[in-house]
Chain A
């Protein structure tokens, strides 16, 4: 069970309080009704699924209920950072392309 730092509660809490919410930094297209099939596929289905540092969303569903972002190494499952929704990706050491 992971131990996750909620950037809103500013506390480490056990994973049972959280729900994983998929890859982060995938914005819903502004004019979604007008985008191509290919763009829709990219937005809704395609995932980077990296082996290494993944940017992902979590929700502190049984806590403050906020969505936030995290950078986690998917090989070691170690969190490198968690940060609030809307904040840019943090700069991390050892990050791949």
Chain B
């Protein structure tokens, strides 16, 4: 892997940038690998990278039915934070934040991780109670998260409307300063390049059509649109399509796939310094390095794989944005798009072994999987390599839905009474 640096750029500038090598190889698939990862999104590519780097397993193929990073990795609003309530969640998301903090250097790829702070607004007494519960739990878990008064929130984010006359006045906010955003494509590309450099095969335009199992029930490989490929270990990291893939191995999962939309405004000069989220009015907003306001909308109510949602969902989100930031009404929506997110009953992911030997699953990240990318890949690689979960992902089992030991982040943010 040729090192990226300002000197490398200067050298290339002299010859019109004609000497850059391919960032990742595009090999033909081999007949057999030690491990197959299904899905070349951020999580899948990170898994492959850590398999190679941490566990020395380099005979790995990452199979992608489209183009790498083209699913939810390339469609999300890139919010990164770890101020989750439960110990298990704080554990995995903070593991990710710590990896984010050195990721550009680790991958020698600038993923533009920007710890601009993530501020979550409280609009009623119930929000205040819930956020304070988070703040206190986070502090004792070693995760930064502080309470801001409305005035402090306004200082942190000047466009915010803190008028008591607002329909839902801001009563305060929880701020995680280590939270922020990153450049989504760069994350996929950086992991792809680093994994490829360690010998991992990234095979695009290769859809898995079946998962093969031997007489003992263990997996033996996959059928793909580019022929059969053998492997004793298969990790499914297919986000919205996880149900479809797991079904190929005869495993039913507690997932539903919903359309989730996002949009950007036209680019403008810096006006929005951080990330702001409001669960009560359903709005998520930041400004990209390019100057676009990046806005996350909610899910449609019905399941769908269409990667498109309804206009009224976008409208509802912009209602909230313009209510909180009335200076943005004259801004224009430049582009909107949809993704397909896989949602579990407790809104926590599944990173686990499955009842099928050699089959591992990493799914159920719902609307917020991007933030976990490095941490998820790291512990999932461990799970596959050792055939046992890393302590950090041990609670995120498939079995929890049978025993009732849920990690219910959704319930923790319970609806107003």
Contacts and interface: CB of A to CB of B under 8 A. Distances in A.
Contact of B306 (A22, A37, A45, A74): A74
A63 B301 CA distance: 17
Interface in B243-272: 243-244, 247, 252-257
Contact-size category for B:
20 to 34
Given A1-B312, A72-B302, A76-B306, A45 B254 contact: yes
B115 to A, nearest CB: 36
B interface, by DSSP: helix, strand, loop or mixed?
loop
Interface stretch (A27-35, A48-56, A81-89): A48-56
A59 to B, nearest CB: 11
B67 interface: no
Contact of B252 (A1, A48, A54, A72): A48
Contacts of A76: 306
Interface string A21-45: 0110000000000000110111011
Contact of A45 (B247, B303, B401): B401
B306 A47 contact: no
Interface in B383-417: 401-403
Contact of A37 (B301, B304, B308, B402): B402
A38 B306 contact: no
17 contacts: A1-B310, A1-B312, A15-B310, A15-B312, A16-B312, A20-B302, A22-B256, A40-B402, A41-B401, A45-B254, A46-B254, A47-B255, A47-B256, A48-B247, A49-B253, A49-B257, A75-B306
Given A2-B302, A20-B301, 15 more contacts: A20-B302, A22-B256, A38-B402, A45-B254, A46-B253, A46-B254, A47-B243, A49-B244, A50-B244, A51-B243, A51-B257, A51-B305, A75-B305, A75-B306, A77-B306
Interface of B: 241, 243-244, 247, 252-257, 301-306, 308, 310-312, 345, 401-403
